[in-house]
């Protein structure tokens, strides 16, 4: 069964600092991987997705993620955090049947 | 494109009543729709998968008689919470796959419905 693990339920960075949110996956087949952001009382917004094309995936709002098969990882990064990046972030893995989410990482950005 | 709507966005009901939540794909046809439940400060948990014209497949531990799912068309799925109780209070999110989009397994998410049972 496929699954993802997000390391760190809460990450705090200063405005302008690097953002690194960690995600490791487990899948018996080549995975489709996604990062979503969720603001309070809202649905999910897709940041980026990996679908076996380029291993470095660029998304919206300056986020990117690198698929590393040898490390079974798909970490999300952003060079410089903005206050508006404060939210909950979810990593997800999908196959033809369904999508499974990680536990989520709450990102706090300090001024 | 690929917009999913949910109605209502929030609902408050009395214990013992039933509540229906609608999920619509506005600009695409959805062969498969999914229903998730999210408790405060937790992740999304898949409740069930529904395919147009067939019975929904429920995840282990989800009561199919309590959470009735109907997927009558390629653009509409409904979730009915029957005899709701305070422990059913949660954020319910639906998603859908675009029938014509190919095999990237992406799901498009609705904005969610906040259910509060008094």
Least CB–CB distance from B104: residue in A51, A98, A104: A51
Residue A33: HSE in the Cβ half-sphere, 13 Å Cα cutoff: 35
Q: DSSP for A32-91?
A: EEEEEEE-TT--EEEEEEE-SS-SEEE-GGG-EEEEEGGGTEEEEEESS--GGG-EEEEE
Q: What is the pLDDT of residues A72-83, one digit of tens each?
A: 999 999 999 999
Q: How confident is the model at residue B103 (pLDDT cuts 50, 70, 90)?
A: low
Predicted pLDDT at A52? 78
Radius of gyration of chain A (CA): 13
CB within 8 Å: B114 and A41: yes
Handedness of CA B83, B59, A98, A71 (dihedral sign): positive
Q: What is the pLDDT of residues B6-27, one digit of tens each?
A: 999 999 999 999 999 999 999 9
Give chain B's contact residues with A (Cβ, < 8 Å).
6, 34, 42-44, 46, 49, 91, 93, 95, 103-107, 109-112, 114
Predicted pLDDT at B102? 61
Predicted pLDDT at A53? 75
């Amino acid at each position: 069964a496929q699954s993802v693990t997000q390391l760190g339920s809460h990450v705090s960075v200063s405005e302008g600092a690097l953002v690194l949110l960690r995600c490791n996956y487990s899948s018996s087949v080549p995975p489709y991987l996604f990062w979503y952001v969720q603001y309070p009382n809202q649905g999910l917004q897709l940041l980026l997705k990996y679908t076996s094309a380029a291993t470095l995936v660029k998304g919206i709002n300056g986020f990117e993620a690198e698929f590393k098969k040898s490390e079974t990882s798909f970490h999300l990064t952003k060079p410089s955090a903005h206050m508006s990046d404060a939210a909950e972030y979810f990593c997800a893995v999908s196959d033809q049947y369904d999508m499974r989410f990680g536990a989520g990482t709450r990102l706090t950005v300090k001024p | 494109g690929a917009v999913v709507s949910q109605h209502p966005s929030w609902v408050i009901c009395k214990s013992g009543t039933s509540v229906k939540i609608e999920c619509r794909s506005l600009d695409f046809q959805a062969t498969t729709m999914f229903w998730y439940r999210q408790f405060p400060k937790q992740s999304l948990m898949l409740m069930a998968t529904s395919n147009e014209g067939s019975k929904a497949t429920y995840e282990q531990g989800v009561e199919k008689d309590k959470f009735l799912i109907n997927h009558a068309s390629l653009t509409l799925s409904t979730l009915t919470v029957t005899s709701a109780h305070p422990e059913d209070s949660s954020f319910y999110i639906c998603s859908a796959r675009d029938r014509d989009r190919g095999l990237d397994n992406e799901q498009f998410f609705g904005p969610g419905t906040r259910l509060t049972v008094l």
